[in-house]
Amino acid sequence: MRKAIGILGGMGAAATCDLFNKIITMTDAKSDQDHIHIFIDCNTNIPDRTKAILGKGEDPVPEIVRSGIRLQSMGANVLVMPCNTAHYFYDRITPFFDVPLLNMLQLTAEAIQKRGIKRIGLLATDGTLQSGVYHAVLAQAGIEAVIPSLSDQASVMDVIYNGIKGANRNIDLGRFYDTIDGLFARGAEILILGCTELPIAFEIYRIDRPAIDPTTVLAAAAIQFVGKPLVARNLAV
């Protein structure tokens, strides 16, 4: 019996579409029937994850769990969650599911480790950085994370929230470029696009800096999990 993927989406909507598109384009398929059966729940009722982590918003876990159970009931054999920040709640979410939820952060750390990279620049939301959830998985893989200063971090949040989530293609990227270049000046070998809006930003704004895209890593893992052949693709954008 063919296995199906369930995309636990809505965090945000554009990131959900980005993962879906990457699964399609990275699957070695020659016909419609060669593609993977995919269920998507773009649940925009899920509260903001960063606000929750910072103690300024509702707990997103109940809605995330509802989405996962809904996808299971539809027939998903594996779940994927295209939101780095939401993985802060991973251990609270997974006990409610009867199928695996692939851990995007862990998969990304493993992909970086295989490339022999020891020092990365981490671009992510305030919630992801302050929770330390990425730092933990990277440290276990022997990888050091370099993060923006508090003032530089504002430029990252601007690109994520005002740029991609806000559907604004005309934001000033000057400070964001300074933030990125500052990470490389401090020894970063490559960037982690540690928010699922950032790979979209790099494409839309044509940002030319070496980076690992966790959405691509997650797409590859999901394709392989359900036993489909993978089109060869570099995991860096």
Q: Give catalytic residue positions.
A: 83, 195
- Tokens found for residue 171: 């934001």
Strands 211-212 and 144-146 come out as unpaired
Which residues have C-beta within 8 Å of that of residue 168, sequence separation ≥ 6? 162
Q: Are the beta carbons of 78 and 7 closer than 8 angstroms?
A: no
Element (H, E) at 38: strand 37-42
How far, in Å, CA of 227 to CA of 51, rounded?
37
Which residues have C-beta within 8 Å of that of residue 173, sequence separation ≥ 6? 159, 205, 207
Q: Are the beta carbons of 67 and 190 closer than 8 angstroms?
A: no
Whether the CA torsion 170, 172, 174, 180 is positive or negative: it is: negative
DSSP state for residue 88 in the 8-state scheme: G
